[in-house]
Amino acid sequence: MLLQSLLLKCDKVRLDRYSVNAQDGIDFAVGVIRNNPQMNQFGFQNAIESEESAHRLCSAILEYPKIQRLGLIGCCNEGSSFGYSMLKTLVSSPARKFVKLYLAGNHIRTNGCSILPDYIASNPPLGFLALDYNHLVDDDLRMISIALKTNDRLKELHLNRNDYTSIGTRWLEVAVRGLRPIQTATDTPFLDPSFESVFGCNHTCRIHEKPESIFEELNCSSPPDNKARKLYDLIDMHSLRGDLVNELQRSVGGDLISLMPFVLRRIEAIHLRLQTSPLSSPLSILLGLLRDMPELLDSKRTSIEY
């Protein structure tokens, strides 16, 4: 009777923890999907008893590409091995048109498989991905970090309560902050961002993890503003260290003095656009440059308007 009442009427359906056995729950969910071909949002938060049932549900979802917002939450119990199978089925299908995927609490373990990062790297329409309360490890985040370099559509990535360590967090900083990994025989140290690495990192995706971290302040605005803020922070960091001239020379090369008016105008423009802190004002940066590069005062070679 309930299934009949849902025929051809729903564009959004959520089936959360209803009191039926697992197999009846899958039968009901598949029936709802097949009887509402116009549905664009589907949520399912109930235990699935087997990989066969999980595959049946995912296959039914993929038969209807109008379902663009999907939540499969808490479907796999600890010890189940099909959480990642569900993920692989969903993201490897040619029919994938998802814009939001909620896959929290499914005990997903990739065991080194790269299907998820390959999917992210392909720059699909997906704008929101929640993988909280799973079992992603450092190497998963390393591959996701590389994938994010070629993705400018994913706006939110939720990774709370997984199994990665501080090394995995550093790999995420490679993707969105521009840290530079240095591979050695024993470990992977990370260097501070450079101008090149900041230009090449992801300026779209905001990463959510707990406890609160640096990611809360990264990629919070438009991609151009996000990039500008990272560049300004990098300039300010090197100015405080007293090595801004060396870093600019290494990055720009050539006749740095002739380029300096352009550099200073860009610093001022970013400061005005983003309303950066007075403690890191363009004037303080200029004074640091004059300290380290007194030839800037030679009016015959350059003109600095302030």
pLDDT at 123: 96
Tell me, what's the pLDDT at 278? 61
pLDDT given for residue 1 in this prediction: 46
Residue 191's pLDDT is what? 93
Domains, the chain, ranges and CATH? 2-222 (3.80.10.10), 229-297 (no CATH)
Give Cα separations from 208 to 20, 199, 252 (angstroms): 34, 22, 34
Q: What is the pLDDT of residue 195?
A: 92
Question: Per residue of the chain (306 residues), what is the pLDDT tens digit?
Answer: 455 555 557 889 999 876 556 677 899 999 999 999 899 999 999 989 899 999 999 999 999 889 999 999 999 988 788 999 999 999 998 877 899 999 999 999 999 999 999 999 999 999 999 999 999 999 999 999 999 999 999 999 999 999 999 999 999 999 999 999 998 777 889 999 999 999 999 999 999 987 667 788 899 999 999 999 999 889 888 888 888 888 888 887 777 777 777 777 887 888 777 777 665 667 677 777 777 777 766 644 444 454
Question: Residue 192's pLDDT is what?
Answer: 93
| pLDDT, position 304 | 47
Place of tokens 């209807």: 64
How high is the pLDDT of residue 54? 94
Instruction: Give the pLDDT of residue 141.
Output: 98
